[in-house]
Structure 1
Amino acid sequence: MPKFAIKLVYLGRGFHGWQKQPKLRTVQGELESSLERLFNLQIKVVGASRTDAGVSAEGQVASFSIPRGDFTPKRLSSVLESFLPKDIHIVDAVVVPDSFSARFSAYGKLYIYTLASHRMPLDPAVQPVRLTNKLNLSLIPRIKRAFIGEHNFSAFSKSSSTEKDSTRLIFHFDIIPQGELLRLVVVGESFLQYMVRGIAGATLACLQGHISPENISEMLTTGKRSYHFRTLPPEGLLLKKVFYSREKLASIVNWLKQNPTVDRRLDEMLAGI
């Protein structure tokens, strides 16, 4: 049975997350249902990231095997997309080895969290959280230094998480003002549930003067949420890229360090699976 990986784009507001759940509309559920109608067979789909309800993706990757050998990646993309709902799009597909797993073969992920000024008309595709208070942008370098590296992210993730080890490695973190937008770019090896939203919430609280960069460093050491900040809503979060090459991951991190921006050049560099 040939195995494929596909790259998906979807808006999170229409789904109860990635993971299949009884009687709830999810991305995995829609994809498996479409594959079953196409091949008249139940096919298990593995996703790179179990995005939460409301979280969008431009770079989600799913892997699965199909019972027929007459499908090229291009044909599979075209035919499968005709079975999918209009709010899920396939933007790339490749044949992968049997050993490939969209989740466990990944070396890292890139997320972007978007915040917007209250003066900016909202783009429903971006769904950013509103900024209502003046921000102290001079704190950005200290906040970035606090998060980069290997830390205990218990204080920034879901309190009821069942993960035994809350240590995670952040390769790159940036806070980028772009006009009326503030974008948080996070590249890490792997992430706990709600972790990026927790990082975004602590960053915003720090920029607003409610906590300090030193408070963030303390929580990353102790793993305890000793200072108040809120986990920001899922609507501002975007899964931008999943990396399956260490070389590609390193090159993107180096590029981001030299080009602190989110624009078309980054999109071009992140093309493909």
Structure 2
Amino acid sequence: MKIIITGAQGMLGQQLVEVFKNAGHEVISAKRQDLDITNKDQVLSFVQNQKPDVIINAAAYNFVDKVEDAEFYPLALAINADGPRNLALAARENGALVVHYSSDYVFEGTKQDGYDENDEPRPISKYGQTKLEGEKAIQESTDNYYICRTAKIFGAPGSGSNIKESFPSLMLQIAKEKPELKIVDEEFGSPTYVVDIAQATLEMIKDSVPSGIYHLVNEGEPVTWYGFAKEVFDIAGVTTPYNPISSSEFNPRPAARPVNSSLKNTKWKKLRPRLEALREFLEK
């Protein structure tokens, strides 16, 4: 198959490129300088010229707090909603499947047992709203789609601009620099390894699963940032002292976060346990 992957320099995008190339597919890595997904005419022309079987959108604006600022909100909306719409329209016109990644932040976070694919989204931040708008844009533009929600992704950093280290790497770095750490012990979620998301995406396409919304998260009990840090430090053998704090004790953040945005995968094969995935990542 011929696959276009947008956001190919990002943390998830680079893993998608590797997984699909290793599986023998022809991959067109569409970096930001190659394709502006917010430009409808450019997207339609690019896709028409390439004639892919699948378009995978791993491009996103994920600076959660910046989106609350009126200066950055239009850019986030363009990338997270207009871009997916353009890609879905182009996919429909060319008979291609479109795969798009969304976020646990489309949920308000009040359900104690987490959210499955059929729960109604109700974001509490502008970032979450832009991601929900992206989901709606896909569904309004094509019938041939996979919307894959995931959460708190970790893996090797991307190679493009605005590189963000994932939480495990950041915690290990800070643990080397500071005599003691304070970590928020709130905001339960489902941390997930980008390698497993990419592999699951490949298998979904191979199996021709029905169009719809899927939750792709590693198996395991939901954890707070403190709980996730504990898993990281236990595996890595970190001895730096660390203590839990509340969100209110942390530096003020403009965007509200869901208290419990953990995702439940009820429609697709279970991904491997988080601790197994985390150990693999940390030992690389």
Using the size of structure 1 for normalisation, the TM-score is 0.30
Using the size of structure 2 for normalisation, the TM-score is 0.29
More helix as a share of residues: 2
More strand as a share of residues: 1
